[in-house]
Amino acid sequence: MTTVASNGHRTAFVDNDRKPTGHGRMLRKEDPRFVRGKGRYVDDLQLPGMLHLAILRSPLAHARVLSVDTTLAEAHPKVRLVVTGAMLAEKGLAWMPTLSNDVQAVLATDKVRFQGQEVAFVVAEDRYSARDALELIDVEYEALDPVIDVRTALSPDAPVIRDDLEGKSDNHCFDWETGDAAETDAVFARADVVVSEDIVYPRVHPAPMETCGAVADYDAVDGKLTLWSTTQAPHAHRTLYALVAGLPEHKIRVVSPDIGGGFGNKVPIYPGYVCAIVGSLLTGKPVKWMEDRAENLISTGFARDYVMRGEIAATRDGKILAIRTNVLADHGAFNGTAAPVKYPAGFFGVFTGSYDLEAAHCKMTAVYTNKAPGGVAYACSFRITEAVYLVERIVNCLAFELDMDPVELRMKNFIRPEQFPYRTKTGWVYDSGNYAPTMELAKQLAGYDELRAEQAEKRVRGELMGIGVSFFTEAVGAGPRKDMDILGLGMADGCELRVHPTGKAVVRLSVQTQGQGHETTFAQIVAEELGIPPQDIEVVHGDTDQTPFGLGTYGSRSTPVSGAAAALVARKVRDKAKLIASGMLEVSVADLEWEKGSFRVAGDPNASVTIQDIAMRAHGAGDLPEGVEGGLEAQICYNPENLTYPHGAYICVVDIDPGTAKVTVRRFVAVDDCGTRINPMIIEGQVHGGLTDGVGMALMEMIAFDEDGNCLSGSLMDYLIPTALEVPDWETGFTVTPSPHHPIGAKGVGESATVGSPPAIVNAVVDALAPFGIRHADMPLTPSRVWEAMQGRPVPPI
Amino acid sequence: MQVPAPFEYQRVSTVDEAVTLLDRLGDTARLVAGGHSLIPMMKLRLANFEYLIDINELHDELGYIRAEPGRIRIGAMTRHRELLESDELAAAFPIFRDAERVIADPVVRNRGTLGGSLCQADPSEDLSAVCTTLDASCVIHGMNGERVVSMEDFHQGPYETAVGDAEILTEVRFPVRPRGSSAYEKVERRAGDWAVVSAGAAVWLDEAGLIADARVGLAAVGPNTAGIAGIADALRGQAPAEELWARAGDIAAEACSPVTDRRGSAEYKRHLARELTVRVLRRAVARIDGQEV
């Protein structure tokens, strides 16, 4: 195990640019097209005769749909088609399954259940006419009382939102429990210190730069549907379309071209995609639907919205004994959460954090409200964001009560290296970890002791400076198929590798990049295993007709699952190459040694063949060893043995203007351990992005509603996301604790920074406010909310 | 993509042409200058006009900053970026550069104009607060020539101005007095956001170093940007002092009428009106003394 520090821009590139890929910090193969503005996104697609679709959405959060009159819209000279919920119902398409075995309306039939819900759609010759015609549709609504406050959603007099579900008489969505309640209660009962805090993780939105959209093209001649769409999971979507629309799966091709950011927003199937398909089926033409910014913010997959009560039990000297939590989860109008079936609360079970506990218990109740559905998005690793926020906030509350340094408290309670693999009290098996060095490195990079000294001086002068610490362990790379499936689809990933006669290769993957750099990272993995330069390896992805089946890119699963598949398929090809080499060199296989890119005869430095020589032989006319087929290719379906558990230590320094209560993030040190690092530059880029997300959530982002259920955050003027001016120069470092079960020891990292940074920032702000006696304040910590906290009245955001 | 409802578009090249067209089309038409407020509102279909009259070609005629004895005249088509970069303007009224640094972002500042900002009459708009602070007057051109109105009379409510259907704001005039300086400060949730609250101050001293006049303008704490008359009354004839700024801050907090919204609670905004008033008065006076630029 190696521990090497790198520090932001001043990195001394050591260790990491060496093993295991050998190509480490190479520039991204996909960037030449992006930096030239030549990326090809769904909205760039222009097909002959293509029509444009626009969706009419509900202005009300909860209302009965009495009538929909489309007469005037149909009379518009450029309108080809107007479709209502009633029309879809006749075809059995008015409802579709969600990723959590609930159903969601494609177009409203009986009621609208959130503001922005799809009510009807228009297909016209151009997007302007389609949009104009929406105003010609006359919908008569009977307004109903909305359910907006999650805390009263289960009260007996609350209106029932989901009366479409047979026998439904309340707004209860599901209950979920993990850990041992009795044991946890017993530990709490005997603990010296118990600290409780109400902690809200408000509703936020991924807000990718590219909104969601699709082009559907149904070819009536060969009965094949091609759907270009903004999807993070093309294969899973194809199967679901087959199940929903009744089209045979081999007659559906889903293409996910360049994607302008996903963050989980592009995991669900949205009604708009289905509308585009219906539009193309009915008109016989290609139909494009691209939602606008407001539609994206008000109707697509949100994230978080957990109202949590956290409790922690400890000894007087700071040994954490147990953590208990009660969660009220707002799932919106339909349960659209994307999570493995057995995990309705995602991987929230890792709320025990990085600590060695005696007991833990969580009780969760999820409810329906008149808000947009979704529930798991925005780089959250299946609810780990909420779990890490809860534990890292409540541990800080404990430090506050014990008057103990938050780093010292964490160090005292870390799971020790010799305890791995470590089974948590909620049943998760952490594969590997070595936490103390990571925390120490973060302390050292931050100059932690000096910062505390500076803070003490500043407090004397009335200046508000805060230092926040968080330490996270994530569970990423879903997942073992015996435990994890989405709507019955196992979470294993296929991979195919073909080496061409001249030694160039093509690797085909089921995962789809949305900016993560797959075209580079996966080429590097194969390059390392086969010794072919990454420039000679084409990565094909995002097209179900060209790639093997797999579940897609989300939950930081691409490297843990498909990355493993790529390494193993390359080893399979290498094994075959070895057989061919033995024939070429006329020695037995046992006498061959692999040196990256060639096999040589042990003890004879002049007798060797390169992988390129072998590829030509494999496809050539010369003899092959007996029983060896021609060609040099392989395929695999990789079923991960376990999840991977990356960890990290983050330290944030903030200053608060005592007069205006405005928070400035002065410094942020992020030390990540994602096991073996493939391309450190890409990792750092992902970390930088995630940290920026964290600043957004901690300080400004929130999807808010008024009491009537109007979404108050439907534009980027109302839903603020951070700019370069709100973030500091990121200071990054790393440690390397390889995953023992991943073929190259890599763990997922895509969401680490989004998961780990909000608690560090909030802990820093709360630390700065310590002179006011404040132990907790909820996000988003806008100037006004910080000022209210300084006045002794911190208020929850909802 | 958000798309506006259909409209017709006409580009004009003189003020008279614009006014004639406005006179003919009435309230179905709207002038578009920088377009960074109007066009988004039309795309969201919050505003629908049958005709847009593009006056960007008037930049040659109405894009200027001219210093004359006793006053500075700024053409209505002068863009934010030109206001930001003018050293001449910064020397006379540093408040302009303070404000322009925190208005929106470079893309908006490249297009947006002084006249467009004032005519949009958003209660949170920064340049309206600057003009209020500097006691500006507005030149409005119509079919029957031009008229001049004070900032107090220019804004008549949120998004409402004294400019009639067939009129165009052509110029804003600023009186220049000796021994004065100014400052602006804004609290925003994020760079480029509208103000939670912002405040501008301008202070002039007499030869004895006492306050000859002082003006404070606040944004985002009422239906329009507000000049706080009581502050001038309280400060005139006094020697600059911290206690005086505190008293001015109290007056500002008392006089404003903020409402609670997503940007902040009314109590917080009232607090900011006080805090920012103190800060900008302190800074304006420090600048007169050459202590701070």
Radius of gyration of chain A (CA): 27
Nearest Cβ partner of A700 from B2, B189, B194?
B189
B-interface mutation test, from A53, A784, A786, A790, most B Cβ less than 10 A away: A784
- Which of B2, B190, B196 comes nearest A292 by C-beta? B2
Is A682 an interface residue toward B (CB < 8 Å)? no
- Rounded CA separation A318/A355 (Å): 12
Instruction: Determine, for residues B196 and A783 on separate chains, whether the beta-carbon distance falls below 8 Å.
Output: yes
Instruction: Answer whether residue B1 shows pLDDT above 80.
Output: no
Is there a contact between B3 and A788 if contact means CB atoms under 8 Å apart?
A: no
| A488 touches A341 (CB < 8 A) | yes
Q: Do the Cβ atoms of B101 and B203 come closer than 8 Å?
A: no
Are A552 and A233 in contact by the 8 Å Cβ rule? The answer is: yes
Which residues from B are below 8 Å from A662, CB to CB? 187
Chain A hits for B5, CB-CB cut-off 8 Å, are: 132, 135
Share of chain B above pLDDT 90, in %: 95
Interchain proximity A660–B190, CB inside 8 Å: no
Q: Tally C-beta pairs within 8 A across A and B.
A: 68
DSSP assignment of B112-152 equals: -BHHHHHHH--TT-HHHHHHHHTT-EEEEEETTEEEEEEHH
Closest Cβ–Cβ partner in B194, B264, B267 for A783? B264
* C-alpha closest to that of A403 among A471, A464, A314, A309: A314
Classify A674 as helix, strand or coil. coil
Q: Least CA distance to A722: which residue of chain B?
A: B190
Strands A224-229 and A252-255: parallel
The token duo for B258 is 């903020």
Q: CB of A625 within 8 A of CB of A580?
A: yes
Q: How confident is chain A (798 residues) per 10-residue block, as mean pLDDT?
A: 38 42 85 96 98 98 98 98 98 92 96 98 97 98 98 98 97 97 98 98 96 97 97 95 89 97 93 97 98 96 95 98 98 91 93 98 98 79 95 98 98 98 98 98 98 98 98 96 91 97 98 94 96 96 97 94 98 98 96 95 94 97 93 97 98 98 98 96 96 98 97 96 96 96 96 97 98 97 98 93
Tell whether A782 is within 8 A of chain B (Cβ).
yes
Question: Which is it for the CA torsion A475, A480, A482, A484, positive or negative?
Answer: positive
- By C-alpha distance, the chain B residue nearest A720 is B190
Query: What letters, b where the CB count within 10 A reaches 16 and e where it falls short, cover A337-349?
Result: bbbbeebbbbbbb
Q: Residue A111: beta bridge partners? A: A64
- Tell whether A787 is within 8 A of chain B (Cβ): yes
**Domains of chain A, residue spans:** 42-147+211-259+266-299, 302-478+642-790, 492-638
- Give the residue from B189, B245, B283 with the most A CB atoms within 10 Å of its CB, the best one to mutate: B189
Inter-chain residue contact A715 with B279, CB threshold 8 Å: no
* Residue in A131, A660, A785 to test binding to B, most B beta-carbons within 10 Å: A660
User: Which residue(s) pair with B141 in the sheet?
Assistant: B146, B168
Tokens 């991204």 map to which residue?
Answer: A28
Per-residue tokens: B89: 């303007």
CA A200, chain centre distance (Å):
20
Give the pLDDT of residue A562.
Answer: 97
Partner-chain contact B187 A787, CB within 8 Å: no
What is the length of chain B? 293
* Phi and psi angles of residue A496, each rounded to the nearest 5 degrees, phi first: -125, 140
User: Cβ of A784 and B196 within 8 Å?
Assistant: yes
**Interface touch B190/A717, C-beta < 8 Å:** no
A786 touches chain B (CB under 8 A): no
pLDDT at A16 (0 to 100): 44
pLDDT (average), residues B191-214: 97
On whether ipTM exceeds 0.90, the answer is yes
Q: For B183-201, b where at least 16 C-beta lie within 10 A, e where not — what string?
A: bbbbbbbbebbbbbbbbbb
Going by C-alpha positions, the residue among B8, B22, B9 that lies closest to residue B141 is B22
List chain B residues with CB under 8 Å of A700.
189-190
Q: Does domain A492-638 sit in CATH 3.30.450.20?
A: no
Which residues of chain B have a CB within 8 Å of the CB of A717? 193-194
A492-638 has the same fold as A42-147+211-259+266-299: no
Which of B45, B187, B279 has the CB atom closest to A662's CB atom? B187
Identify all chain B residues contacting A718, using CB atoms and an 8 Å cutoff. 262
Cβ neighbours of A418 (radius 10 Å): 7
Give the DSSP letter of residue B79: B
Are residues A622 and A616 in contact, defined by beta-carbon separation less than 8 angstroms? no
Chain A partners within 8 Å of B190 (Cβ): 699-700, 720, 722-723, 725-726
- Residue B268 to residue A783, Cβ atoms within 8 A: yes
**In this structure, what token pair is assigned to residue A351?**
């709320």
Please give the pLDDT value at position A358: 98
Contacts of B191 in chain A (CB under 8 A): 723, 725-726
Q: What is the pLDDT of residue A10?
A: 35
> Where do the domains of chain B lie, and which CATH numbers do they carry?
8-54 (3.30.43.10), 67-175 (3.30.465.10), 180-288 (3.30.390.50)
Average pLDDT of the residues in B235-261: 97
CB B185 within 8 A of CB B260: no
Residues of B with CB below 8 A from A726's CB?
190-191
Q: Of all residues in chain B, what percent are helix, strand and coil, respectively (each to 5)?
A: 40, 25, 35
Which of A127, A128, A660 is nearest residue B275 as measured by Cβ atoms? A660
- pLDDT number for residue B105: 94
Q: How many Cα atoms sit within 13 Å of A796 on the Cβ side?
A: 16
- Distance separating alpha carbons of residues B218 and B234, to the nearest angstrom: 17
State how far residue A202 is from chain B, nearest Cα, in angstroms: 14
Select the residue of B2, B193, B276 nearest A720 (Cβ to Cβ).
B193
With helix as H, strand as E and coil as C, how does A351-419 read?
Answer: HHCCECCCEEEEEEEEECCCCCCEECCCCCCCCHHHHHHHHHHHHHHHHHHHCCCHHHHHHHHECCHHH
- Interchain contact, B272 vs A660, CB within 8 Å: yes
pLDDT of residue B227: 83
Give the nearest chain A residue to B2 (CA atoms): A292
Q: Both tokens of residue A161?
A: 């939102």
| Chain A residues inside the 8 Å CB shell of B189 | 699-700, 720, 782-783
Which chain B residues have any C-beta within 8 angstroms of a chain A C-beta?
Answer: 1-3, 5-6, 44-45, 105, 187, 189-194, 196, 262-265, 267-269, 271-272, 275-276, 279
Chain B CB contacts of A791 under 8 Å are 267
Instruction: Please name the member of A132, A712, A782 whose beta carbon is closest to the beta carbon of B5.
Output: A132
Q: What angle do CA B178, B182, B186 make, to 5 degrees?
A: 170
Distance CA A604, CA A790 (A): 76
Give chain B's mean pLDDT: 96
Nearest CA in chain A to B278: A659
State the pTM of this model.
Answer: 0.96
Q: Is A293 part of the contact surface with chain B (CB cutoff 8 Å)?
A: yes
A252 SS3 class: strand
Name every chain A residue with its beta carbon within 8 A of the beta carbon of B246.
none
Q: Which positions in chain A touch B3 (Cβ < 8 Å)?
A: 127-128, 131
Sort out which chain A residues have CB atoms less than 8 A from B268's CB and list them. 661, 783-784, 787-788
Distance from CA of B100 to the nearest CA of A (A): 16
Q: Does the beta carbon of A725 lie under 8 angstroms from any beta carbon of chain B? A: yes
The CATH number given to A302-478+642-790 is: 3.30.365.10
Q: Which one-letter DSSP state was computed for residue B4?
A: P
> Given an 8 Å threshold on Cβ–Cβ distance, is A128 in contact with B3?
yes
- Cβ distance of A717 and B194 shorter than 8 Å: yes
Hey, which residues does A324 pair with through a beta bridge?
A311, A361
Q: Is A782 close to B264, i.e. CB distance below 8 A?
A: yes
Does the structure show a pLDDT above 80 at B234? yes
Distance CA A286, CA A620 (A): 44
Beta-carbon neighbour count of residue A17 at 10 Å? 17
Q: Which residue in the set B5, B45, B263 is minimally distant from A784, CB to CB? A: B263
Specify the CATH number for A42-147+211-259+266-299; select among 3.90.1170.50, 2.60.120.380, 3.40.1360.10, 3.40.30.10. Answer: 3.90.1170.50
Burial of B238-254, coded b for 16+ CB within 10 Å and e otherwise, reads eebeeebbebbbbbbbe
